[in-house]
Amino acid sequence: MRPALKKPAPGMVAVIASVIVAMAAVMPVAAVELTQRCTNPDEDYSVSLPRGWYYNESVEADGTDDVAACRFFSPDDFDVRPASGVADVAIGIGREATAPRAEGEATMVGGKPATIVETEAGDDSFDPAGTRYYQYWIDIGDEWLVATTSDGPTWVGEYEDNKVVLDSMMCTLTFGTTSLPDTALAEPTSPWPLAAGWTLLLLATVGALRLARRAN
């Protein structure tokens, strides 16, 4: 005959439930499967990109209009023609000499300070008014490395989907020779919420164990 199981105390049930909720809140969720990796030797970074996506190889022109590899990314094939611009891409990475002109969320990318900024084009902008831009501005010293997606007329893909891809790609971007595994997480753009979540989970677990001991 099997021994009767003791019914858990109501307080213990509540604590266990809180532990489960906390785990769901802090456990990272895979956003996009990133199975490819490319390197931009000019900017000294490497980044992973989704399965099936395209990225540009280096294109040599007359020296001043050369296009370094691993600057543009798209689910559709595209051409890179120096001095004529690039269209039909979902994400682009390039340099900017000035700091972002809008406030955003502070984070870290590749061990460097960065700011996530989302803006809309005004009436006097080159793109149609209301065009949205989602960007990572990475401080690389005297300049900024800027990773962008947009719903403008020359960009492809769904804007919200591309934002998720860009978040995931920025989790894998590294500078120098150090590289990360070709995986990405959906929510690591700011490290302190994850740390706080794990602290909450630890406290809840300790509380559950204490209640279990009292019940016994």
Clarify whether residues 120 and 178 are in a common domain: yes
Indicate whether 90 and 6 sit together in one domain.
no
Do 39 and 16 share a structural domain?
no
What pLDDT digit, counting tens, does each position of 33-62 carry? 899 999 999 999 999 999 999 999 988 876
CA atoms within 13 A on the CB side of 1: 2
| Shared domain check, 117 and 142 | yes
pLDDT the model gives residue 31: 60
Query: Residue 183: its pLDDT value, please?
Result: 38
pLDDT(190) > 60 = no
> Domain check: are 75 and 167 in the same one?
yes
Residue 204 belongs to domain spanning: 1-28+190-216
Quick one: which of 123, 117, 100, 216 has its CA closest to 170?
A: 117
Q: Please list, in sequence order, all residues whose beta carbon lies within 8 angstroms of the beta carbon of residue 58, skipping any fewer than 6 positions away.
A: 66, 67, 68, 69
AA letter at 185: L
CA distance 14 to 199: 18
CATH number of 74's domain: 2.60.120
- Same domain? For 50 and 24 the reply is no
Residues 139 and 194 in one domain: no
Q: How high is the pLDDT of residue 121?
A: 92
Within a 13 Å sphere around the CA of 151, how many CA atoms are in the beta-carbon half? 13
What are 47's two structure tokens? 């980044």
Same domain, 76 and 177: yes
* pLDDT band (50, 70, 90) for residue 83: low
For residue 212, pLDDT beyond 70: no
Same domain, 143 and 45: yes
The tens digit of pLDDT for each residue in 14-24 reads 544 454 444 44
Q: Are 47 and 16 in contact (CB under 8 A)?
A: no
| One domain, residues 181 and 76 | yes
pLDDT for the residue 86: 83
Q: What is the tens place of the pLDDT at every residue in 88-103?
A: 999 999 999 999 988 9
Q: Are residues 94 and 118 in the same domain?
A: yes
Give CA–CA dist 145/198, Å, rounded. Answer: 31
